[in-house]
C-alpha cells in the first residue's frame, strides 16, 4: 500500500529458520532498538531475556506447544516479560506495562527484519516452564517468546506451515478493526 513504511508492509512471521548463529553485535542492535520504544512516563516496563546458548534454548524447547516445533531451529529466542507494577496502572483495568512491552516487541521485530532476520512472536508455550527453567520471578508475566533466525530451509516444516510460508498476507477488512469517531463494530451488537 502506498505510503506505508516498506518494512511494515512486507514483514511476515515466517517459520523457516536457519540454525546459523546470530552475531552478538546483531542481537545487541536488535535489543537496543527494543529499548528505544515509547513508554508511559519513560517507565520502560519491559524485561527481556535473550536466550542464545544451547542449554537455555533447550529449556525454551521444553515449554513449547506442539505446533511451535519449528522454534527449535531458532538460534535465539527473546523472552518478553513485565509486571503491572513497573508501569502506570489506570482506571478500567488499564495495565500500561502491556502496551509498553508490545511497542518494544514491535521495535525488536522491525530491527530484526532490518538485520535480515525473521522474528516471530508466539503464544504457544508454557510460561510456568519458562519461569522455572530460566529463573523469571513468579510475579512477572511472560507475555511472549520471539523466535529470531535468518531465513532457512523449509524442509523441516509441516505441509501446513510450508503452505503458510508462501500464502498471501491476509488481514481482516479494516471495517472490522477500525471505526471512525465512535464505536461501530458489529461484534458488540
pLDDT in tens, 130-178: 999 999 999 999 999 999 999 999 888 789 898 887 788 888 888 888 8
CA angle, residues 24, 26, 32, in degrees to nearest 5 = 100
CA distance 101 to 115: 21
Domain boundaries, the chain: 16-167
For 16-167, CATH gives 3.40.109.10
Cell output for 24: 552478538
Instruction: Look up the pTM and report it.
Output: 0.91
Q: What is the pLDDT of residue 165?
A: 77
Question: Please, are residues 107 and 46 in contact by the beta-carbon 8 Å criterion?
Answer: no
pLDDT in tens, 89-102: 888 888 889 999 99
Amino acid at each position: 500500500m502506498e505510503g506505508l513504511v516498506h518494512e511494515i508492509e512486507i514483514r511476515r512471521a515466517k517459520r523457516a529458520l536457519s540454525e546459523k548463529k546470530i552475531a552478538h553485535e546483531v542481537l545487541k542492535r536488535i535489543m537496543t532498538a527494543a529499548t528505544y520504544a515509547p513508554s508511559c512516563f519513560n517507565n520502560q516496563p519491559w524485561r527481556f531475556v535473550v536466550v542464545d546458548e544451547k542449554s537455555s534454548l533447550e529449556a525454551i524447547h521444553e515449554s513449547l506447544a506442539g505446533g511451535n516445533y519449528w522454534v527449535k531451529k531458532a538460534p535465539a529466542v527473546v523472552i518478553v516479560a513485565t509486571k503491572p507494577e513497573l508501569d502506570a496502572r489506570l482506571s478500567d483495568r488499564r495495565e500500561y506495562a502491556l502496551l509498553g512491552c508490545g511497542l518494544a516487541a514491535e521495535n525488536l521485530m522491525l530491527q530484526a527484519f532490518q538485520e535480515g532476520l525473521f522474528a516471530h512472536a508466539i503464544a504457544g508455550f508454557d510460561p510456568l516452564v519458562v519461569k522455572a527453567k530460566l529463573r523469571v520471578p513468579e510475579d512477572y508475566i511472560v507475555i511472549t517468546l520471539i523466535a529470531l533466525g535468518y531465513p532457512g530451509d523449509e524442509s523441516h516444516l509441516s505441509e501446513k506451515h510450508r503452505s503458510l510460508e508462501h500464502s498471501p498476507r491476509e488481514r481482516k477488512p479494516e471495517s472490522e478493526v477500525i471505526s471512525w469517531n465512535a464505536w461501530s463494530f458489529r461484534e458488540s451488537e
